[in-house]
Structure 1
């Protein structure tokens, strides 16, 4: 009797592992993080971000994901020896592919490369703001570019995973403030099977 019990446990474990990164699975992921630093306060040249992604698992356990990102950053602007902290918002649509670089045998931990692109809008909130007798001259702009990075994934079950990522955002000379950003953050992913 005990052998049947042990065999059942082994089969359940194998089945659970087989349902991680299954090509029939889809996922929803939400997350947040820091931009160009590790502060969520109004700090020069730093900020924070939020993300929402939908995705699916592909061949060789790679990941295709598409989603939206909002990030807010703060930059000092000096006008006639007066310094103000300007707020810059990015609203981005992005897509990326994440091939597997490393995984454990039990599929609990994965390390992925991240290769992606984005398009979006950058808004400088303080454009037109008056400082003394001077009006701050700045403009908003459409932006696009590439996203290289790394992502780590810890699977708590076949449905729930925690992710951590470091990404670079290169805006191809279109940003009115800064063309390259580094973002680090964590996320929570829920996996589900597509209905047939």
Structure 2
């Protein structure tokens, strides 16, 4: 978002979402575990490790001219929130087990605080016209999308039969802020931070 002035392109739309970043050591560990799986499962798209995140709210296409007010609203939503700790947990999928749409890693820790933060953000952005998703909030880290099939030699094991056990030794971190991301299609990494919103 710092590549151009808001005043220059007020009518341009950007695809935005709000999320928790992962620290570099968590991204690295997740990348290593994903690489173990890539040789056993065939997914169309594997998330670049620098794009690993926990989504709080998807906002969709937003006018550049509206981003200033959005940032002000998010700054207020995060002010005074208490830091909390999260941990990476096991593997999971969305969709049919034999042909899942998404392969993900779960989240443990102070989930009550995470859910409270997500609810606060959704309530704050509703005043700007953004809608909450109808499905219940399910925090996760997307590792891959669109299953194409088993790699030869692994067909009889099923997806969960080839996934490694819990493999992160240092898998917890302290949440002290959240970020507004813009999606940059065709780039790697694909998500760029527009702004960060500290609890302090």
Alignment TM-score, normalising by the size of structure 1: 0.23
Choose 1 or 2 for highest CA Rg: 1
Q: Which has the higher helix share?
A: 2
TM-score, length of structure 2 as denominator length: 0.23
Q: Which has the higher contact order (CA 8 A, sep 6+)?
A: 2
Decide which structure has greater strand share.
1
